[in-house]
Chains A and B, each alone.
Chain A
Amino acid sequence: MNRTKGDEEEYWNSSKFKAFTFDDEDDELSQLKESKRAVNSLRDFVDDDDDDDLERVSWSGEPVGSISWSIKETAGNSGSNQEGREQLRSRNSFSSYPQLPKPTSTYSLSSLFRGRTRLGSFQSLSDALSDTPAKSYAPELGRPRGEYRDYSSDWSPSDTVRRLRKGKVCSLERFRSLQDKLQLLEEAVSMHDGNVITAVLIFLKRTLSKEILFRELEVRQVALRHLIHFLKEIGDQKLLLDLFRFLDRTEELALSHYREHLNIQDPEKRKEFLKTCIGLPFSAEDSAHIQDHYTLLERQIIIEANDRHLELAGQTEIFRKHPRKASILNMPLVTTLFYSCFYHYSEAEGTFSSPVNLKKTFKIPDKQYVLTALAARAKLRAWHDVDALFTTKNWLGYTKKRAPIGFHRVVEILHKNNAPVQILQEYVNLVEDVDTKLNLAIKFKCHDVVIDTCRDLKDRQQLLAYRSKVDKGSAEEEKIDAALSSSQIRWKN
């Protein structure tokens, strides 16, 4: 029941949110860590004859003789320190390189393509063949007709597919008629080998017009799915969108377009891109989310510029006392609301950064709003704001305490933020259910509430038991003794 378990502070710094990690962390140190991790993760290869595994696995999990040990060992004596440094430096110069991919797919089609998208790398399937290396082992997918020896001219589509499957050199160029090409495709599909299906699809993609390719694949669903997957993996977004348009798969088209924003780092560009997603044929629900996504980033850009300026100027107390840990760009809505409750709580509704404005713009439910505001104000120990959050006035001017999230939860959050006992006590008292109230009071050592509640419940036994939990000679003990000896109370036990 710990409401603030995901303490806002904590997830601000969580590595899940990229924008909240500092750019300069991407330096040598982190690369070293990366490489250390790489080496450490190399698995232990334990000797065959030794059946006593337990004893041999060391702290780092690197028994002598393991692969990781031997990598260190062999790499270590092969190069001097200088070499190592040089390696590091040159590695840095490749920092634009993608990190070694996280192990995702091991064996499958997608694993073949999950790479950095290189413009033109697939067009070059054919282009690259103009150079003729001495030794050519490659599947000669794109060799111009005149250039290859026609040793394979008699192979049927099924022979060809079979050879491709065995990884043998094989030209597809001789299949010139549409009928031949389609037969080739059907043979490949019937083999189920994604590697071969994709090879044939690339050939078709290159040699057929888009319209014919789409038309023929529409009636060949397996091949169609492979093409879609393939286009996704190599990042040929344009052709993919054309294909979805042709197939009239409007929602997939929209999602596929929207997905691209993940690859745009620059906030302005990302915002502009999101704008282009707004009109796309999403479901009604999703359309609203996309619109909100755009609006939120737009807001964040404004707030970020403003606050960075304020912080640098050093004139604003809140930023001096609580310097921002990172930028607010690309944070989720609730985090943004927390930020705004933390730094911009008292702002008028008219400003973009005011919590009330956020609440209205994004139709944040009351519950969510109160929870977030409470967590933010409690963190700043602004007890007055906390009080105001739960005070309502009725039309006669009487004030009343009300919490849409239940006061038990308020207490938990306050406790999480180290609220003093007096404050806690006040809210524990507001908990309606008596048992819950008593439990919370005991848990958070609100002695007065415990004593009063026991007295109200006429629960002598519990009060007696509680007496042993308070300090000897304390005011609480006196209070308990007074209650126990009171003749006014008709104890139920």
Chain B
Amino acid sequence: MAAHLSYGRVNLNVLREAVRRELREFLDKCAGSKAIVWDEYLTGPFGLIAQYSLLKEHEVEKMFTLKGSRLPAADVKNIIFFVRPRLELMDIIAENVLSEDRRGPARDFHILFVPRRSLLCEQRLKDLGVLGSFIHREEYGLDLIPFDGDLLSMESEGAFRECYLESDQTSLYHAAKGLMTLQALYGTIPQIFGKGECARQVANMMIRMKREFTGSQNAIFPVFDNLLLLDRNVDLLTPLATQLTYEGLIDEIYGIQNSYVKLPPEKFAPKKQGDGGKDLPTEAKKLQLNSAEELYAEIRDKNFNAVGSVLSKKAKVISAAFEERHHAKTVGEIKQFVSQLPHMQAARGSLANHTSIAELIKDVTTSEDFFDKLTVEQEFMSGIDTDKVNSYIEDCIAQKHPLIKVLRLICLQSVCNSGLKQKVLDHYKREVLQTYGYEHLLTLHSLEKAGLLKPQAGGRNSYPTIRKTLRLWMDDVNEQSPTDISYVYSGYAPLSVRLAQLLSRPGWRSIEEVLRILPGPHFEERQPLPTGLQKKRQPGENRVTLVFFLGGVTFAEIAALRFLSQLEDGGTEYVIATTKLVNGATWIESLMERPL
């Protein structure tokens, strides 16, 4: 099932196997039959590295969701809690354990913290009087989870907020840990580049951790040539814009979680005879989206406007293939046709699904409001009318469009103007507070602290300089057969990816001036390799760069990097890692203030 992880330049199945091994080892420590009690949030990420059959092989007989009061009855020797280190979960675990004690035969309790044990959580368990009940208390360092052949994520939703709002470095520490694990499996990365405060910190942590491990020389031939660490706050603009790739739009509209998407079922009704339209499914249709699906791998990163033609071409190819059966005359030919049937049927199913999804998306992208919103975004990004109150934003507020949508647009305007004029900012603030509630004052302050929404300092707007130097706005964009990364936003080239592109060629020295305008230091570090491990590149062989986005990355940025990887004379292939896969909405949401 995870074959798609090994399709890329770097075989990420190695990482997956390593974490699976660790899981098996833990399960085997708890001898005998087992029940697992799941912290609900963890089942998503775990699904990407293991499956029920693996657990079953290690005598996991029952599984429950973690909730208050008593555990459901289970005739097993071990009960294992799989949890994140969070205090409120400890309270629930304690309840479970205490009520279990009162009931019948003794069991062995264990707890597996993901990704890290916490001194505080253990103290809490102790306060609640249950710590002594646990035989094994261990941690499972699931820092970087392989999502696809070229994609890793920590799925840490709070990372941006913690790094840039609370200045809490814990998620950076985990990022550094994850990078150390990668280096243990794929060799030391000889060169580290970075831009931003957090990038600097992670590099420092890595260097320090490496020093601590000096005892064991890493004897693995390095797979990665470079590591590029990028702070999300170096490029606050990109996630705010609406992604226009196929995968990006699916995420914007329906939300992709742990590579699954839930879609409205109507379009997927099975067309069977005699169904008569009754029994329409009411539950959401759930689909897994990754490059294991041939068709999806082909269209995911295309601009949505280029998807329709691919789908119709595929449809022709598939019907032609089915037509072949009429030409099959000999037994051998028929046999061959039949042997291809499963593959053809899978292709047909895949095509049907994506046609339906594309229809759903088209309904949205052809709506008047989507067009209006996109027009405003593109005006801002190309530098038009960013310094006055925008009437579309005002309309959205008056019509009470979702607050997140409104905030996203206001922030986009602010970022494209290096901050808003005080009068404009005050106007927006007042409108938002009066329409959505005064308590959002707290959210507005958070956005300000993160740099997304701010008054213009000194009346100077540096965005035009950045835009021109980095060629962030391209007027002649080819959506069908792109020649530049700007196709992913139909005109706007994501700043973050432009930085990666310029780093590989001609190098950052050419853009020193802009780098100084962008926040945080930029730097370069070398991790020396023993002579035996130094790489001699074959002529024409591409370099492999790992780009780590600290604070989140969007699918459109991933698409842009994949586009660069595929360029014939690009010279660099990219593997992408991040603290969290985000889009503008989930990102802004993570900054919003909620009651405790």
Residues of A whose CB lies within 8 Å of any CB of B are: 1-6, 11, 35, 38-39, 41-55, 57, 59-61, 65-71, 74-75, 78-79, 83, 87, 90-91, 93-94, 97-98, 100-101, 103-117, 121, 124-125, 128, 133-139, 141, 164, 167, 190, 192-196, 198-199, 202, 222, 225-226, 228-229, 232, 235, 255, 258-259, 261-263, 285-286, 289-290, 292-293, 296, 330-334, 362, 364, 368, 371
Interchain nearest-CB distance for B271 vs A (Å): 15
Interfacial chain B residues near A133, Cβ < 8 Å: 126, 129, 131-132
B590 at the interface (CB under 8 A from A): yes
- Encoded as 1 (CB less than 8 Å from any A CB) or 0, chain B from 431 to 465 comes to 00111111101100100000000000000000000
B154 at the interface (CB under 8 A from A): yes
Q: Quick one: given A42-B65, A259-B593, are A194 and B170 in contact (CB under 8 Å)?
A: yes
Name the interface size band of chain B.
Answer: 35 or more
The A-contacting residues of B in range 567-594, CB under 8 angstroms, are 590, 593-594
B595 at the interface (CB under 8 A from A): yes
Interchain nearest-CB distance for A69 vs B (Å): 8
B21 at the interface (CB under 8 A from A): no
B74:A43 contact, CB within 8 angstroms: no
Q: Which of B285, B398, B437, B590 interacts with A104 by CB under 8 Å?
A: B590
- Encoded as 1 (CB less than 8 Å from any A CB) or 0, chain B from 152 to 192 comes to 00111111011000111111111010000000000000000
B47:A67 contact, CB within 8 angstroms: yes
Complex CA gap A11/B437 in Å reads: 13
Q: Quick one: given A44-B47, A368-B434, are A136 and B445 in contact (CB under 8 Å)?
A: no
Complex CA gap A132/B208 in Å reads: 38
A285:B429 contact, CB within 8 angstroms: yes
B544 at the interface (CB under 8 A from A): no
A4:B399 contact, CB within 8 angstroms: yes
Q: Which of A44, A46, A124 interacts with B127 by CB under 8 Å?
A: A124
A225:B166 contact, CB within 8 angstroms: yes
Complex CA gap A255/B440 in Å reads: 11
- Smallest CB gap from A5: residue in B: B399
Q: Supply 29 A–B pairs (Cβ within 8 Å), ascending by A.
A: A5-B369, A42-B43, A46-B288, A48-B51, A49-B1, A57-B288, A61-B260, A65-B52, A71-B65, A78-B74, A90-B70, A91-B67, A103-B157, A106-B115, A109-B162, A113-B86, A133-B132, A137-B137, A138-B119, A138-B125, A167-B139, A202-B120, A229-B162, A229-B168, A255-B442, A259-B442, A290-B438, A333-B433, A368-B398
- Smallest CB gap from B20: residue in A: A48
B63:A74 contact, CB within 8 angstroms: yes
B596:A112 contact, CB within 8 angstroms: no
B346 at the interface (CB under 8 A from A): yes
8 closest residue pairs by CB, A with B: A61-B286, A105-B158, A194-B170, A6-B400, A43-B47, A45-B51, A115-B88, A115-B87
B543 at the interface (CB under 8 A from A): no
**Best-surrounded residue of B46, B123, B201, B426 (most CB of chain A within 10 A):** B123
The A-contacting residues of B in range 284-305, CB under 8 angstroms, are 284-288, 292-293
Interfacial chain A residues near B433, Cβ < 8 Å: 289, 292, 333
**Best-surrounded residue of A11, A45, A53 (most CB of chain B within 10 A):** A45
Q: Which of A97, A292, A368 interacts with B438 by CB under 8 Å?
A: A292
B115:A235 contact, CB within 8 angstroms: no
Interfacial chain B residues near A330, Cβ < 8 Å: 437
Q: Which of B2, B43, B75, B281 interacts with A59 by CB under 8 Å?
A: B281
With contacts A46-B51, A57-B286 known, what are 15 further pairs, Cβ within 8 A? A5-B400, A38-B40, A46-B288, A74-B61, A78-B72, A101-B88, A105-B157, A110-B162, A135-B132, A136-B131, A192-B201, A202-B120, A225-B168, A228-B166, A330-B437
Q: Quick one: given A103-B157, A195-B170, are A112 and B118 in contact (CB under 8 Å)?
A: yes
B67:A112 contact, CB within 8 angstroms: no
B52:A67 contact, CB within 8 angstroms: yes
B508 at the interface (CB under 8 A from A): no
Complex CA gap A74/B56 in Å reads: 12
B72:A87 contact, CB within 8 angstroms: yes
Interfacial chain A residues near B172, Cβ < 8 Å: 192
Complex CA gap A117/B154 in Å reads: 27
Q: Quick one: given A42-B40, A104-B590, A263-B596, are A98 and B65 in contact (CB under 8 Å)?
A: no
Interfacial chain A residues near B143, Cβ < 8 Å: 107
**Best-surrounded residue of B115, B126, B131 (most CB of chain A within 10 A):** B126
Complex CA gap A139/B53 in Å reads: 36
Q: Which of B69, B171, B595 interacts with A107 by CB under 8 Å?
A: B171
B342 at the interface (CB under 8 A from A): yes
B59 at the interface (CB under 8 A from A): no
- Smallest CB gap from B125: residue in A: A138
Interfacial chain B residues near A79, Cβ < 8 Å: 72-73
Interfacial chain A residues near B288, Cβ < 8 Å: 44, 46, 53, 57
B356 at the interface (CB under 8 A from A): no
Interchain nearest-CB distance for B228 vs A (Å): 20
B521 at the interface (CB under 8 A from A): no
B378 at the interface (CB under 8 A from A): no
Interfacial chain B residues near A11, Cβ < 8 Å: 400
A141:B442 contact, CB within 8 angstroms: no
